[in-house]
């Protein structure tokens, strides 16, 4: 089992933040989810807030899509 609060996991996020942000902007929902999960589980408060904003944006887009169809 992975300890996401370990210094190794936090260090990974710190060293790969740009790549993780690219993942959450990806077209594929599964890949976006992986990036969001890593940021939420092992990121700092700023990373968690970023993930929340991205999730809120995705929800708004989903709601708009539902309204259209």
Predicted local distance difference test score (pLDDT) of residue 3: 65
Measured distance CA(61)–CA(7) in Å, rounded = 35
Query: How much is the pTM?
Result: 0.78
Predicted local distance difference test score (pLDDT) of residue 2: 59
Predicted local distance difference test score (pLDDT) of residue 4: 58
Residue pLDDT, tens place only, 6-60 = 789 999 999 999 999 999 999 999 999 999 999 999 999 999 999 999 999 989 9
Q: How many residues does the chain have?
A: 69
Predicted local distance difference test score (pLDDT) of residue 7: 87
């Amino acid at each position: 089992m992975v300890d996401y609060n370990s210094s190794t996991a936090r260090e990974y996020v710190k060293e790969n933040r740009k790549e993780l942000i690219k993942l959450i902007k990806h077209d594929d929902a599964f890949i976006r989810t992986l990036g969001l999960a890593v940021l939420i589980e092992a990121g700092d408060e700023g990373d968690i807030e970023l993930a929340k904003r991205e999730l809120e944006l995705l929800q708004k887009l989903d709601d708009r899509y539902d309204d259209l169809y």
